Structure 1
Amino acid sequence: MATPSLSQDTAKAVLRQVEFYFSDSNIPKDDFLKTKIKESEDGLVSLALICSFSKMRNHLGLMEFKNPEDVPDDTLKAVAQTLTTSSSLKVSEDGKKVGRSTELLEAEELIEQLDSRTIAASPFEFTVKREDLEAFFNQYAKVNSVRLPRNVANKKYFCGTALIEFSAEDDAEKVLGQSLVFAGAELELRPKKDFDAIREKEAEEFERNRPSNNSNTEEKYPKGLLVAFTLKSISAGDSAKQNGSDEKKTAENGNGEEKIDDKNGSTIEEEVDEKERKSTASIYKDDMNVVLREDLKDVFKKFGAVKYVDFRIREDKGYIRFDEPEAARKAHAAAVSAEECGLVVKNFIAGLEPVTGDAEREYWNQLRGHQEKHRGSNNRIPSRGGKNNNRGGKRGWGGENGSRRGRPNKARRA
């Protein structure tokens, strides 16, 4: 009877996956597999166990078979046949076990070798896929593995810097000397040891700034969601002076107050006059010399969900508030690495600065102060003064130039 075989694509994926499991890159960090190897007299591990790992089950179409004993014999034979073609793997004579063809180096020596052939590349969007990065860097040298480290402050999210391990130190050095662009962004390439030093400082800073259990309520606000931007004309290079002196055109795009949900610090925007908002947007939509909130949101949403754009027409400064800290970090990294030192928005460059520390605290405190003020006003019958029944008398929301009372001042940039 003929030996079962895998399709070409499946065989390629399976071979690469098992080679990675037993590679210098993975075994030192894989306590489970390392233990199984030590428990075995010949250093080989059950192939059925390997095939029961989630990624292998996905490659083999065996998602329902979670236990090693459930893996079909025909599949094991086909996988064993595929793995015999590898120079880095050893398969037992009966085809039921697999392992490394060479012994593992001592830990210190192994780590030194791995670091010498690994580079750190950034910035990447938080949704980037490992497979896409592997395919990209494989164009320049053979890639052994791609790792996506998590954010120091929030382990749920990718930090934006990928670690690319090549098959040889010379390959890593060759790639470090190139200028590479991925998804429109010029990449910053550095040796892994430099990345490790930066991560160590970030971890130390995070521990220093971690709120203690007895922190007062003032400190309970979302961290890392804000970036401040300044618009500069592409042609003049000066602070943006946007057109539109007509009173009809100066109506704020998306005019509406916002309030804070005390439970999680997120914002809940009040209902706005949709007709007025659309009218303003339609006037400026095709005007390249006037930036709208929609224009800013379109540029920044590729880094993550945009919660709120704190910006008024004809101003040259504002804030972008994201849903997740990683999105804010990604946007800032992309702006810094861009050739224009910022992100293009119509005929302007938006230079970015992260808002942290006292500036960040001030922003949220002012916003919450406005929220408390707004709550108090809800208990009173609104005034009907003014020609157009605007609340608060002739000037509507009050304040000079039609600005709303209680709107947070521009917080100091960190």
Structure 2
Amino acid sequence: MTEEKEVATESNGQENNQSEGSEEISDLENSIIRQVEYYFGDSNLPRDKFLRDQILLDDGWVPLDILLKFNRLAKLSNDHDIIVNALGKSRSGLLEISDDNKKVRRNPELPVPEMNEERRKELTARTVYAKGFPKDSVLDDILKFLKQFEEVENVIMRKYQDRQTKNKIFKGSIFITFKTKEHATKLIESKGLKYNDTELLILWQDNYLQQKQEEYAAHKEKKQKKTQKGEEKGEKDDFKLPTGTVLFFNEGSDNLTREKIKDALTSLGGEVAYIDFNQGDTQGWVRFSKENAAKELSEKFTDGKVKIDEKEIPFKLLEGDEETAYLEKTVEEMAKRRKNMKNFKNRGSNRGKNFRGKGRKRRQDDNGGGPPSKVKADS
């Protein structure tokens, strides 16, 4: 299952209070009043395009036949007389019934509030998040439970759509909007409130949304770190270098160059992968491609020395901790260079590849290249 989006089932949760001497209102009539007042209420009407379009057709009047296209009202009753009689008992002053009892409209003296950022913040400030309801709960049962709290204006059952079945499934949590923040505070301050035998988790909607944003950010950061760690590990695994492949020298001269070193060692049968040396340095390292290649080549040296440019230069085979330290440093620098190249390519892609650098392409050595600060021997 995967959550696609929140799908809300909503209803005006406010009951119509009866004044002394008023007509008795049955449970069915109360449900009809509540549902129709929800349709024309401050919460639904500003964002119900279908109903707003209908209102524009006839000075705000909407035929009952149109309202009966809404499932929740139709499930309560599809009898016009029952609906009109119920709405006639409403004491909220929100609705008007036409003289022929066939149409309903919102009281013109109660303009619909504009749904702007200020309005959204005001609604959020008096909305409460509650979690802990059974997944098979129905709206009517939740509304009965909320009767103990006054001035419930709107209830949203939070749902998600199952990817396979396409069914909308209740998450077990709701948003409850009250008429005022003071009424909402009474629910927030209800300690240990239970639905059946389950204690509800109750938060201000603002606090809940902030908590979810922090959880999402933490999850995203954790995922990025895990991915980065995996990539770095993979890069190091890819850069695992063979042993017995490094020679060290420390008697270089001002005239010594990488090309001269490479030519001298290649003439002895060595396959040089990388020379870590700059002209003018007194010491350097030569790395070969194949396992034990440096060890086998060093056995051909006379007294451990190689004649380069009329000078006998001593070479030492790196072994043990010395070799391990050098190869580990090389692997880290190679991984860093690959990462920098990858980032550069990504930046180039984001710019739409408007610029393509030109120049001589450098060949890679047999082991994926060398440290970024040096030039390859076979370049």
Q: Normalising to structure 2: TM-score of the pair? A: 0.44
Greater Rg over alpha carbons, structure:
2
Greater relative contact order structure (CA < 8 Å, 6+ sep): 2
